[in-house]
A and B are shown apart, each in its own frame.
Chain A
Amino acid sequence: MNRTASFATLALLAALGTGITWLVQQAAAPRIAEQQRVLDSRHLLDVLAPGSYDNQPLQQPLRLADVQLDHSTLLGGYRAMRSGRVTALLLRSQTLGYAGSIDLMIAINPDGRLLGVKALKHSETPGLGAHIADWPQGWLQVFAGRSRADPADTGWALKKDQGQFDQIAGATITSRAAINAVHDALSYFDEHRQVLIGVDGQ
């Protein structure tokens, strides 16, 4: 066996390896991008019932005005539609929790009632406030069906603060932040309903 043949084999192996990897990468890239898009939108949109929309809400973000609310900031708004009618409005809200900001996706139906809330990002205490990111989150589900006026403003608080709602055990600040952000979003929806739903939405 001579060194030249060995070197040639090695060079061939290197060229083949590079070429095959490149080809596989080219073939796989569109599929991977598509899968990533599906994963991303599922992560953001699983607060909505699967059959309740047929558009791609994330592709058409709304332009929101006055996004600085009492306890939270709105980062984005999206319309979920089915057969050309708005079925839900999504507000991405950021509020301050115990250890940092919490991002919530809040879904509201056209009548101003809450469909669901999901925590997207947070840095709360593991085992306590971090439970807010469990999915499905039992505590966040108690807000479903509520609206800005149900309960009245004073009721939109923890029982500890003379309100109506229980809290996540051991996570008062996290729970308070979430309640306030949800109430903020419902109020914002009420005040900007025409703009958010759109003229052609109904």
Chain B
Amino acid sequence: MTRSSLLNALMLTPLIGATYSWKTALGVWLMFVAANSAFGLAMAGLRGRLVPASHLLAAVLLAATLTSCLQLAMQAWALQWHQQLGLYSGLIALQCVVLEHSGFHQRPWRERLLQGAVFGLLMVGLGVLRELLGESGLRLATLAPGGFILLGLLVAAWQAWARPTSSN
């Protein structure tokens, strides 16, 4: 598996698994942003002090620490919300490491901000859409297969809009 497809698979997991309600989606995204911001800052300070071979190990240690602390903090302040996130909050550590591995944290901050915002918009948007559809009687929308179908439709709509067919 190439780096980018590993990254895509890791982003897709919460995008489908944690968007059955907008609240869960928002929770995962907020934790994602908090963990990745702290992770990016700390790694920027660490990179100069480490030989390249130990970058990965440092990233794992850092991501595990940050995610554990965030999880504990969220449990202490909003236990019910944290329980809704389920295993997706733990997955954020892996996302940090893979994002670091793919060079995400060394890109210009504007680009990172934009991508983080797009990810959040997609998460919460999909969450709202699935919840609305689920409440209006389409129970499939709240299940994982419904999430896939909806995401597929969104991607198709995006492509149709972004690349208008050239007349020939």
A residues within 8 Å of B by Cβ?
A: 1, 3, 5-7, 9-10, 13-14, 16-18, 20-21, 24-25, 27-28, 31-32, 35-36, 39, 127
| Smallest CB separation, B24 vs chain A (Å) | 17
B72 touches A25 (CB 8 A): yes
B residues within 8 Å of A by Cβ?
A: 46, 48-51, 54, 57-58, 61-62, 64-65, 68-69, 72-73, 75-77, 79-80, 139
A32 touches B79 (CB 8 A): yes
Known: A1-B51, A9-B50, A10-B50. A21 touches B65 (CB 8 A): yes
Secondary structure of the A contact surface, majority rule = helix
Secondary structure of the B contact surface, majority rule = helix
A35 nearest CB neighbor, chain B only? B79
* Chain B hits for A17, CB < 8 A: 61-62, 64-65
A127 nearest CB neighbor, chain B only? B139
Tell me the complex Cα distance, A180–B106, Å. Answer: 66
* Chain B hits for A18, CB < 8 A: 65
Selected A-B contacts with CB under 8 Å, 12 pairs: A13-B58, A13-B61, A16-B65, A20-B65, A25-B68, A28-B72, A28-B76, A31-B76, A31-B77, A32-B76, A32-B79, A35-B75
Q: Count of A-B contacts with CB under 8 A?
A: 63
A35 touches B76 (CB 8 A): yes
A39 touches B80 (CB 8 A): yes
| Smallest CB separation, A66 vs chain B (Å) | 37
* Chain A hits for B75, CB < 8 A: 28, 32, 35
Tell me the complex Cα distance, A39–B83, Å. Answer: 11
| Smallest CB separation, A154 vs chain B (Å) | 38
A6 touches B54 (CB 8 A): yes
